[in-house]
Each structure stands twice: as structure tokens, then as C-alpha cells.
Chain A
Amino acid sequence: MTDKSQAKKQRSSKMSAVSSDSDNLADNRLAIELVQINKHFGAVHANKNIDLPIKSGTVHGIVGENGAGKTTLMSILYGFYTADSGQIKVDGKQVKIKDSSHALKLGIGMVHQHFMLVENFSVLENIILGVEDNFLLKTSISKARKELKRLASEYELEVDPDMLIEDLSVGQQQRVEILKALYRGAEILILDEPTGVLTPTEADHLFRVLNTLKDQGKTIVLITHKLREIMAITDEVSVMRRGAMVKTLQTKNTNPSELAELMVGRSVLLHVEKGKANPKEIKLEVKDLEVEDDIGVIRVKGVSFNVRAGEIVGIAGVSGNGQSELLEAISGMRKQNSGQLLINGKEIKISGDDGAKKLRQVKLAHVPEDRQEQGLVVSFEQWENAILGYQDDDKYGKGAFLSVRACKEEARRQIKDFDVRPPNERLKVANFSGGNQQKIVLAREISRDPEIFIVGQPTRGVDIGAIEAIHNNIIAMRDAGKAILLVSVELDEIRSLSDRILVMFDGHIVGEADPAIVTEGELGLLMAGVSGKQPKVATATLKEKAGVSGKQPKVATATLKEKAGVPGTEAKRETAARKKSKAKTSKGVVK
């Protein structure tokens, strides 16, 4: 360890009661200690008596299923929520964290899953936002520029300080978030699902950065549900399950299957129980389909495939490679630029902005990727959501009228059949948990008995119990002879549900695989849009675990990105476009 980093460590320990002389002592010092933390949200006990010691200068992983309470716990640490009971100790001192600026003062920085950046500000402006020295920006900016340069070279976090955020790739935006935290003097860095939006290459770079940060004496808390990342980078790992802390382990003394078992609470069936598929006639076919997004960027670039009755076709890919647009085009929400969409051999042309209706008429049901943004009106009660998309049906009231009684009957039936909890059709959808919201959507779509079933991210943000039920629903649909198209960024889900896997990258279908024989590694390569040589450079660096810091093959990543068509930029553009479309549709809404 260099002198410099030692000095740094000393600085970080300035708040501890006992100053440390040797490295050994320092390593056992706790940066953060959480004692008996409890947090309720209404009836939900999100954190139950959590104890969590995080050693200084380590990378500490926190794993758990969606809804296990990881994010809640970190939000308590970062001052977003206050715990109902329990203690927080930072550097041995008990503190009461009031809000996030207070957390920052204590040296705790957080990189959120969804970045908190001002899109049309430059990198520098984003970094000084909220910590300007005085009302004249000039001095702060020049100071920040110098500091940024130092941080960038020290931690391998190169970003052009004058670029606008909206012109950066997702990986670079994340770097800005990290820089933001470091600029504010963070000694403890919390990263919430940092790789969810990254390509494998970008993720590798992030891990190198995290290792460098660790070597410089920072403490890193990594929240994830991907075991691969935990094994690759952490020193210690804590497992959470249903709001409780199950165990804290040394990473080197454990293995993925043990962790998975701890996470779920029983031995995990990575493969869903299902019989052999029995594909019949082609129900859905797309030919050379080309689709553009809201700002006119072509996102689906000539895609052809078909889905037969009685099979599940899974589309794998890093999010932002055109899957969303493909789903929307097939479900009628987006016009096709060129190419054909055929249902039962008949071509469907989308015109106007109510194409979704057309496809529902040919018995295609769609579970959208984003249930809160698209699949539900969260401010409506459940019974109003139970007919969304089918409001014109005479079943729910004759002619132009809507029969509230018929709607509520239908809603109660759906709640019963799909075990939605709490079973109350008068409850606003916003007050249901994520898993139950998803069940509400699935119940609505499945109970219409569709022939073609399009499902996007069926278990995103859904707790483990619900995941199983949802997967079983989808399998049951297949066995009933429906044609199912599944899009998910969860590789495990794609692998365990699909009968055929298509991999999408940069708007193309770059490969088809049989889930029975394909390995995760092979799929990963396809998803990264690379064949053969290039990925080895990237994965090699990961394998070395970046134990040797210093010059890393930036050249390699750069060229790789170029060849891969820079999917990061695409993903970023997607978010920008989504925002824009939101702005467009909500025009005139003043509340």
C-alpha cells in the first residue's frame, strides 16, 4: 500500500475514537455499524432487527431477493428514511442521520440505481450542484475542475468535465455519480444495484474502479441480487431475506449456491418445473420489423422471428437494446417503420395512437415492462384497473355506459383467482406491493384468455413468493396452448422459462439458443454483441480481480465499445426519449 493511501486512511479515521497505528487494526475497525434496526411501512415490516457491521476499507456486499429490504436499509443509512428503532454508528460514534445532506457530512455517499443527475447540465455543474461555495459559480467551478482532475486520475474515473450529462453513456453517467459522492468527501460509498443498467464491459470497468477505491481506503457497500458480482468483488457479504438479516459471511469462505440458499431460505430450483413444450402452428410472426423510438432513433433494425402456439420464446439482452420498442410494436403501441407484423398469418398495420386496441381484438394480451408507467393507473382503485384496456367490452356495461357493479364483480374474480393481497377491490393500486401490482396486471390479461401473450419483465421488483406464482402462471398459459413471447433482462428467468431464446443486441437478433444447452457465459457474450476475440480482454481483467491497479486496458474497452455499437449510449438515449415522451404526453397537465 502506498504512503498516499495510508495518509488517506488516516484522514478517514479522524472521527474514530481510537486512532490506529497499524494497517491490521485499521482493517478491523468498523466504518458503519447498524444495531437492531427496525422499519415498518404500514403493515409491512421492511426491516426486522437488522444488525450489520461493515468493516472499514472493505467491499461489503448486501444480497437478497427483490423486496428483501436491502434498499430500505440503505435508505435508512443514507437518511431518506428514519428507522422506527435501532442505532446507527458511523466510525464508532452513534449518530442520528436526519437527511441525506447529514449523511454526506458523515462521509456517506450513495450512488442510486436511478441516477440523480440534471440531464442538460455539464458534468462539472452536476458535481458542484448543492455544494457551491458562494453565489458566484466561477470560483467553485474552477476549484471543482482541479479536484475532479485529481479524483479522475486517482481512481480511473475519466470523464470529460464539460460534456453534458445527456451526451454521456450510462456507464459514464454512473462515473459522474461516483465522482459526485467523492467530491463531497464520501469515505463510505453505497452503490444500489449499480450494474443493472450496464453492459458487461462497463460493469467490469466499474469493478476495477471499486477495487481502486478500496485500495485507497474507502469503504464500499454494494447492493445487488447478482451473485456473480458478489463473488467477484466483495470481501464480506451479508444476506437478507424478507426484511431480516440472515447471515454475514467472508466471501472467500462461501459459494454462490450457499448464498442463493440463504437468500431464498430453501434450496433453489434455478429451473422452473415444466414439461416439454409442444409447439404447434405459428401464431405471431414478425418479418424485417424496423421500429423507431419517440425521438426518431431506429431501435429495432430489421428483426424477424415467430412464436408458435404452445411455446415460450424468450428475448434476452441488456436493457436498452431495442427490446422495449419491439414489445411496444408487437402490442400495437408503436408504429412499424417497415416490415410486417402477422397475427395468425394476417398482417396488422398500426395507424394512429390506439393501435393497442386493434391487437387486443385479435386476442393478444400484453403485460408491459413497466407496470406502474404503462400497465396500471396507480391512482385508480383496483377494480378500475381490472378493466384497463377492455373498457369498451359490453361485459362491463352496455353501450357507452360502464357498469360499476360488473367491473367490481370481475375485479373480485381476478383477485380471487390470482390471490391478490389484500383482497380489496376498492384499494388504490398504489397501495399494493410491487408483486401484487404485477399480479393485478397478470390477472387482468390472463383472465381474458388470450391466444398470444406478450410479457415484459414479469418479475421486476417482485418478491420471491410472487415470482414463483407468476412463473407458474406463464407456464400454465403455455401448456394451455398459448403463444408466449417473454422479454426479460434477468438471464435466469429467460433460461428457466423459455423454450427458445433469442438474443437481442443493438436492435438486431444476434443469436438463437436452446436453453437446455446454452451456458450463461455464451449468452452473456451474445448479449454483449461480441463474437470470439474481444470479450476475452474484458473478462480477463475481471478475472484478475483488478488486484493490480494502475493502467488498465482502457484502449481495449474503448475499441470494444466502438465495435459493439456503444450500447450504453443507446440505453441512455432510451431513457432520454422516455422522458421526452412523458413530457409530450403530459403536456397541458398542470397540477
Chain B
Amino acid sequence: MSARKPLPRWADIVLLPVLNLTLAFVISGLVVLMVGEDPFKAMKILLYGAFGYGEGIGYTLHFATNFVFAGLAFAIASHAGQFNIGAEGQAYIAGLGAIFVGLTLDQTHWLLVLPIAMLAAGAIGGIWGFIPGYLAAKRGSHVVITTIMFNFIAATFMVYMLNNVLKPQGQMAPESASVVNAGKIPQLREFWDFFGYAPVNVMLFIAILALAGAYILLWHTELGYKIRTMGQNPNAAHYAGISNSKIIMISMTLSGAIAGMIAVNEVLGVQNRLVVDFVFGYGFVGIAVGLMGRNHPIGIALAAILFGALYQGGLELAFYMPAITREMIIVIQALVILFTGAMEGLFRTPLEIFFTTLDLNKNGENKNSNNKLKKQES
């Protein structure tokens, strides 16, 4: 067990994810080969579908918007040492806030609806994050367990709400009434034809603001400092007079509130009504986005675009290559999540060894050349 050096920064941030991604694509390529299709052609379709034309880009950005919120939600909690995997449920239940504001203020203006809906969705999502945070801080329960359970509670509660409270009379489908006027958050295609029929909407800009906000919060405020201290060393935080329990509750609430933005994006920006399972797994993918983006806003932005492209390009692929079914697309997405998220450390050890030996060799050469110099001098 010789001492290994940590990776250089560029290798950690760029090389490692690229390697993981490459491996994921190689294995995906093998899967495509297995069903008898050409992996290179599939790759081309996927890339074209995601980035090749306006509507494709619009869809990619729309998915990415959701992933930014989900990834940030994961990252904020993660910086405080909390593994919030409840963004799914937090976003889902936040839909109540979004639709309530949308329906109530349908006759006003979207500039009024947007901030209020964000506040309402953020508040409800925040509460859904706060409760597991409170339980962890004060009762010592594990946030992984509680947030999972809260996902289920949110799911069943929403089914109840849709069927019994929100469903207009005389309607069969478990959906709320639709917003028709100001409740709709404008989609970008209303301003630019470029985006075709893509649902990407004003929330994209909110997502960009959220990325910047998260950066400032984490690295340029006292609260961010406390959150990071708590996450890195709870004992040192305690020593520094930082209340561990408060930081856990604050970070979990913030996390839930950010997850709630997914609801605004989906409910008021796309569906215009509350439907069953509108979150569609974005909350879970957010974990992979956060992990792959190293919980840093820039990384999260890049990872969100990658996953947005996978979602959109995957849909396209299923359309053009009937042999590649929707399930196959999910397999490919899962492989990417597996290699960039769960098995993120796969290449870390070999890379560390590689860089350490590289370093040693360099030093060795220097020494040799030094010796040579000395000899020449004498």
C-alpha cells in the first residue's frame, strides 16, 4: 500500500467523467449491437435528435431544466452531508402549490403567476424536505430512509388529491382542471420559432439563475460556509459553534424547495394541469446529475445537458430505429447513470496509480539528470 496522490484537478473534473461516459457508451453500443442495429448509426441519430435541429434542442433544454433543479436539490443537501433522494416526492407534492396558484391567478398575468407559483411550490417542496431534515436532526432518523418513504407518501397522497379533491366534476381522468390564460408560463417558442413545438419555457432562465444562486450561496455566504463545514466535518462545525441540527434542517428545506421548481416547470410550463406522475423520474436522475457534476453548479449544468440530450435523443432513437424500443433507451440511460453515478470511482484508483507513477518517473528522471550534471561538473 504505497501512498497514492489525489488526482490533479483537471483529471478529477474532466478526465474521470469523460472516461466513465465513454465506458457507458461502449457498453450501450454493445447492447445496440446485440439487437442487431448499427451502434454508430444509433449514436448519430441520438446526437442529431438532441442537438441537430431547433425542436430537438428545445426538448433537450426542457429536460435539462428539470435536471438542473433536481441536481441542485441533491447537491445542496449533499454539501451538508445529507443524502436527499426525495427530490422526486418533493417535486411531486410541490405540484399542488403550482397548480393552486396557476388556477387562482389564471385571470391575471404570468409575470405575477410565476413568482407566486415558485414561492408556493418552493414552500410545499420545502416542507416535504424539512420534515425528513427535522427527523434526522432531532430524532436521529436516517434521511435516506425517510426521504424514500416520503416519496411514497407523496405519491399516494397526490393520487388521493387528484381523484378526490382536484378532479373537476364529471371528468374521468385523475387530473386537475387546466389553466388556460395567465397561469401558463410562456414557452420560448412563442418568442422564437426556432424551437418548433418544444416545451422549453421561461423556467430555463430561472434554472440558470438557480445555478448562479447556488454558487453564491455555497461559496460566498456565511450560510454556505456553515453548510459545507457541516458536510465535511460535523465535529468541526460543532466546535465552531455551528448548530448541526439547524444546518441539516435548513439544507434539507432548501433542497426540497429547489426540487419544487420542477413542478412549476412541468405543471405550468408544459402540462398546464396537474397529472399523475408528472415528475417522471427527474428527481431520481437528479442524484446522478449531482454526483456526476461533483455537486458544483457548473458540473451540474453540464451533466443536466448531457442527461437532457440522452432523454431527447433517446426518444428520437426509439422513433427511427424500431428495434431499439423505449425500454432499450432506458437501459442506455441507466448505464450512463450507473457508470457516472454509482460506479463513479471505477477509474479513480487506476488513474491515481497512473498519475502517481507518472510523477515518480518524472522525479526519477530529474534526479538522474541532476546526477549527470554533478558528474559533469566534477
Contacts and interface: CB of A to CB of B under 8 A. Distances in A.
Contact of B241 (A82, A357, A404): A357
Nearest to B225: A391
Contacts of B222: 391-392, 397, 400-402
Interface in B239-253: 239-246, 248
Given A402-B221, A586-B234, A353 B136 contact: no
B131 to A, nearest CB: 14
Instruction: Say what secondary structure dominates the interface of chain A.
Output: loop
Interface stretch (A47-55, A148-156, A370-378): A370-378
Contacts of B140: 584, 587
Given A353-B238, A353-B243, A588 B83 contact: yes
Given A397-B222, A400-B223, A373 B233 contact: yes
A332 interface: yes
Contacts of B81: 586, 588-589
A374 B233 CA distance: 8
B244 A82 contact: no
A333 B243 contact: no
B41 interface: no
A29 interface: no
B3 to A, nearest CB: 7
Given A373-B235, A376-B236, A388-B236, A589 B3 contact: no
Contacts, number: 115
A578 B163 CA distance: 51
A interface bracket (residues with beta carbon within 8 Å of B):
35 or more
B241 A374 contact: no
Contacts of B239: 331, 333, 356, 366, 368, 374-375, 388-389
A515 to B, nearest CB: 29
Contacts of B225: 384, 387, 391, 402
Interface in B212-232: 219-226, 228-229, 231-232
Nearest to B132: A588
Nearest to B146: A588
A352 interface: yes
B79 to A, nearest CB: 11
A41 interface: yes
A397 B142 CA distance: 34
Interface in A79-113: 79-82, 99
Contacts of A458: none
A102 to B, nearest CB: 11
A343 B143 CA distance: 39
A352 B243 contact: yes
A445 B222 CA distance: 19
A79 B1 CA distance: 8
Contact of A378 (B82, B220, B233, B248): B233
Contacts of A368: 239
A590 interface: yes
Interface string B190-231: 000000000000000000000000000001111111101101
Contacts of A590: 83, 144
A391 B136 contact: no
Contacts of B241: 332, 354-360, 389
A380 interface: yes
A402 B224 contact: yes
Interface string B1-23: 11100000000000000000000
Contacts of B144: 588, 590
Closest 7 CB pairs of A and B: A357-B241, A356-B241, A585-B234, A354-B243, A389-B240, A588-B143, A589-B81
25 contacts: A79-B1, A332-B241, A352-B243, A353-B245, A354-B243, A354-B246, A357-B240, A366-B239, A374-B235, A374-B236, A374-B239, A377-B229, A377-B232, A388-B229, A388-B240, A391-B226, A391-B229, A397-B222, A402-B220, A402-B221, A402-B225, A582-B235, A584-B140, A588-B142, A589-B81
Given A41-B3, A368-B239, 14 more contacts: A79-B1, A354-B241, A356-B238, A357-B240, A360-B241, A374-B239, A375-B239, A377-B232, A377-B233, A389-B239, A400-B222, A401-B221, A404-B220, A585-B234
